[in-house]
Amino acid sequence: MRVLSTVEAIVESPAKAATRRRRKEARPGELLAAALDLFVDKGFSATRVEEVALRAGVSKGTLFLYYPTKEELFKAVVRESIVGRLDEFRSEMMAFSGSSADLLGFAQRSWWERVGATKAGAISKLMMAEAGNFPEIARFYEESVVRPGLGLIRSILQRGIDRGEFQIDDLDATTHVVMAPLIHLVCWRHSMGAQHGICADIEPLPYLNAHMKLVLKGLAKR
């Protein structure tokens, strides 16, 4: 038995409604962030959905309102952490006008700042660990992340060859070799390296510098 004052009726109602709506729109993001943290940390199976929900500040039931199964949640995490990032990169590369060596260095730093050093970087380790159990996701990941990523590096190397800057015998294999230390870095940081005080982590900046130095000298014509 509640009597609304005219003031309440006008002012309070829309405000509250807005709050609710804002929560609802924020939920998926909050859930994905929580899930990303936990999946990366403990792996897929060892993560309990209830934990994810609690970390996102909602109840178990609410999670299932947004993602119908744990597996779908996992897929959404992978998708969300990556989509769009790569297109961004590609257009930047296209616009680059300096030497191919500089372009490669620029690409490496961009990747590190926008992916490798962020939570999204952990996805690589996650996929490494769970690909065997989720062929469907593995395919999705390879199509939408791995292949485009390799393609990007390959196109830089090709550009270097075309401009007479790089000398490369086996382009495909070399593409993999150039990318490998980057993947390795994020995998390490989110597995062994995450065991602080137990395993030594890799210092990213010196590592990235050494990587670029080695690669550029290794690729250089002459």
Partner DNA sequence: AATGAATGAGTATTCATTCAT
Partner DNA sequence: AATGAATGAATACTCATTCAT
> Contact with a copy of itself (CB under 8 A): which of 95, 97, 164, 169?
169
Task: Please state, as a whole number, how many other Cβ atoms lie within 10 Å of the Cβ of residue 89.
Answer: 18
Which residue carries 């939570």 as its tokens?
119
**Counting contacts by CB under 7 A, is residue 75 touching DNA?**
no
| Secondary structure of residue 166 in the 3-state scheme | strand
CB burial of 102-122 (b: ≥16 within 10 Å; e: otherwise) equals ebbbebbebbbeebbeeebbb
Q: Centre a 10 Å sphere on the Cβ of residue 182 and count the other Cβ atoms it contains.
A: 22
Q: How many residues bind a copy of itself (CB under 8 A)?
A: 69
Residue 103 makes contact with a copy of itself by CB under 8 A: no
Asked if 180 interacts with a copy of itself (CB under 8 A), we say yes
For residue 151, state whether it binds a copy of itself (rule: CB under 8 A): no
The alpha carbon of 177 is separated from its chain's Cα centroid by a whole number of angstroms, namely 20
Q: Please say whether the dihedral angle defined by the alpha carbons of residues 219, 89, 172 and 125, taken in this order, is positive or negative.
A: positive
Interface residue with DNA, options 35, 38, 40, 47 (CB under 7 A):
47
Residues 6+ apart with CB under 8 A from 138: 127, 131, 132
Q: Looking at 42, 60, 147, 221, which residue binds DNA (CB under 7 A)?
A: 60
Candidate segments 47-55, 102-110, 161-169, 209-217, binder of DNA by CB under 7 A: 47-55
- Distance of alpha carbon 220 from alpha carbon 140, whole angstroms: 35
Least spacing, CB of residue 91 vs a copy of itself, in Å: 25
Cβ pair 77, 36 in contact under 8 A: yes
CB of 31 to a copy of itself, least distance (A): 21
Binding site for a copy of itself (CB under 8 A): 1-10, 41-46, 125, 127-133, 135, 138-139, 141-142, 146-147, 169-170, 172-174, 176-178, 180-181, 183-185, 187-188, 190-192, 194-195, 198-200, 202-203, 206-207, 209-211, 213-220
Binding site for DNA (CB under 7 A): 2, 13, 16-20, 23-24, 27, 47-50, 58-62, 64-65, 68-71
